[in-house]
Amino acid sequence: MTRPFVTARPAARTLRIAGLLGPVLAVLLVAGCAEAPRQAADTPPPAGAAAAPSPAAPAAPAVRTVRVSYAGGTVTGDTGTVAITRGEAVQIVVTSDVADEAHLHGYDREAPLTAGRPATIAFTANIPGEFELELHGSGAQLATLQVS
């Protein structure tokens, strides 16, 4: 069997291509290693390093709670005049020893009262002025809200 004549040209061409690709691959490898080291999430930053700002959680809206109790004809809790800032979210929690209805004038908000169980009137104080909170059935005044 006769072997075909093989020249050294293909081998020389392969060596030249490998000779050109070698430096290119070396540059890419070095560039990949040159990237700054990454810090583990649970590792504190080095002293003097600026801390990355953490995303702030959305703040829950502040709610002003006014608590009033009526028992044996006596009003206790946040009685008298209660100052409220205009635009403030308000919840009024009323507890009574008798069944009645708590009513906030001006805002026309009511809450039915069952003896011994708290009831809540919730609203945003967006109307300025003074507003009486009373027991509708007995007419007992519980408090006055002053919104300004």
Q: For 88-128, where are the E strands, in sequence order? A: 89-96, 100-104, 109-113, 119-124
For residues 101 and 5, give the distance between their C-alpha atoms in angstroms, rounded to a whole number. 111
pLDDT bracket for residue 29 (50, 70, 90): very low
Task: Please tell me which residue, 5 or 79, carries the higher pLDDT value.
Answer: 79
Give the residues across from 49 on adjacent strands. none
Q: What are the two backbone dihedrals, phi and then psi, of residue 117, each rounded to the nearest 5 degrees?
A: -115, 130
Residues 14, 18: Cα–Cα separation, whole Å: 6
Mean pLDDT of 127-147: 97
- What is the H or E stretch that residue 29 is in? helix 9-33
Question: Domain of 142: which CATH number?
Answer: 2.60.40.420
Q: pLDDT tier at 47 (50, 70, 90 boundaries)?
A: low
**Is residue 12 one of the residues assigned to a domain?**
no
Task: State the pTM of this model.
Answer: 0.60
Is 5 part of any domain? no
Residue 107: inside a domain? yes
Structure tokens that stand for 44 in this block: 């504190």
> What mean pLDDT is predicted for residues 25-51?
52
Bridge partner residues of 129 (DSSP): 147
- Asked if residue 67 is part of any domain, the answer here is yes
**The residue to which tokens 């069944």 are assigned:** 99
pLDDT at residue 33, rounded to an integer: 47
Specify the number of domains making up the chain. Answer: 1
Distance of CA 98 to the CA centre of its chain: 39
- Collapsed DSSP state (helix, strand, coil) of residue 8: coil
In a domain, 24, yes or no: no
Q: Is residue 20 part of a domain?
A: no
- 72-126 pLDDT, tens digit per residue, is 999 999 999 999 999 999 999 999 999 999 999 999 999 999 999 999 999 999 9
Domain of residue 95 covers 63-147
Asked whether residue 79 is assigned to any structural domain, the reply reads yes
Answer whether residue 7 is part of any domain.
Answer: no
